[in-house]
Amino acid sequence: MKLKRNAFLCSVLLILSTHIALSQGYKVKTIVIDAGHGGDKPGAAGSYSLEKNVTLQVALKLGKKFEQEMPEVKIVYTRKTDVDVSLYRRPEIATAAKADLFISIHCNSMPDHKVVTGYTKKNGRKVPKYSYVKNKTTSGVETFVAGSHRLNEQDGALRENADISLEKDYKKNYDGYDPKDPETFIILSLFKNVYRDKSLKLARLIQNNYTRDNKRFDRGVKEQGILILQRCGLPAVLTEIGFISNPAEEDYINSASGQAEIVNAIFKAVKTYKRETEVN
């Protein structure tokens, strides 16, 4: 296990060292837009929609807006149809494209609540009976960047990394990375992305537009050990556009008007980011 973790660490450090050399004269010329999940990895499910479909719709609309209003920027998609793209392939696509930004689109979800529905007797003792009730009230938007976090804050990262275990030969492809092993996060915490500041800047701009322009509830910008961001080696964000488990937000993120607001918020954030971070 130690050798596998060392291999994982070395591979990431190699990616980072390559991109450090390219950070001079930074300009946003190529953006990778990543629609979360896909194919046989549907992601979270709402009452009538799936995360993989919503993220693809938003990703395609976002890319189209860039192509129409910022034609000087090349747009690369990790997927344009309902196909499975392995998590390790998504950062590879960004690396191969020599991308300057990576934007991953996702939908949030809350697990069901375990509630007591009654009592029964077992061996002469009164014991509770349980059922699961869907959490339909949690709402809001949040955007993640690569980083470390406390052990009690791993839920989001574990959820987004969970698709890895569905991939064939995932231990080989991820150099021994185990998405269920909390010790993995110790490794991830050793190397914060060299593009942390740029990633945070874009994430905050996106959140500001969500909350100011779209009047969404702000759940903040967070740093977590989400592997797809850790392996990018370039400014990268993963944005959760709403809770598909909340009926009102599910309607919003599936509607044409809601998706237009989400796209505008991200597009305006990138436009501001580009203007304020590019150097000669």
For the cut 50, the answer to whether the pLDDT of residue 157 exceeds it is: no
For the cut 60, the answer to whether the pLDDT of residue 163 exceeds it is: no
In the block, residue with structure tokens 């949040």: 142
How many whole angstroms separate alpha carbon 55 and alpha carbon 34? Answer: 8
Which of 22-31, 114-123, 158-167 is most confident? Answer: 22-31
Nearest to 224 by CA among 83, 106, 134: 106
Task: Report the DSSP beta bridge partners of residue 122.
Answer: 125
Give the model's pLDDT for residue 232. Answer: 81
Q: What is the mean pLDDT of residues 154-179?
A: 47
For the chain, domain boundaries = 2-19+29-109+137-277
Between the alpha carbon of residue 169 and those of residues 89, 164, 246, the distances in Å are 13, 9, 35
Which of 110-114, 141-145, 168-172, 196-200 is most confident? Answer: 141-145
The least confident of 11-15, 25-29, 128-132, 157-161 is 157-161
Distance of CA 103 to the CA centre of its chain: 8
Contact in structure between 191 and 9 (CB atoms under 8 Å): yes
With both helix axes pointing from N to C terminus, report the angle between 196-212 and 256-277 in degrees, rounded to the nearest 10: 140
For the cut 60, the answer to whether the pLDDT of residue 127 exceeds it is: yes
The least confident of 12-16, 48-52, 261-265 is 12-16
The full DSSP string for 68-103 is HH-TTSEEEES-SSS----TTHHHHHHHHTT-SEEE
How many whole angstroms separate alpha carbon 129 and alpha carbon 117? Answer: 6
Q: What is the mean pLDDT of residues 61-73?
A: 97
For the cut 90, the answer to whether the pLDDT of residue 121 exceeds it is: no
Give the model's pLDDT for residue 6. Answer: 58
Give the model's pLDDT for residue 164. Answer: 43
Homologous superfamily (CATH) of 2-19+29-109+137-277 is: Zn-dependent exopeptidases (3.40.630.40)
What's the pLDDT tens digit per position in 198-255?
Answer: 999 999 999 999 999 999 999 999 998 888 888 888 899 999 999 999 999 999 999 9
The least confident of 13-17, 59-63, 212-216, 248-252 is 13-17
C-alpha angle 235/241/246, rounded to 5°?
A: 155
Tokens representing 72?
Answer: 């000087």
Residue type, 98: K
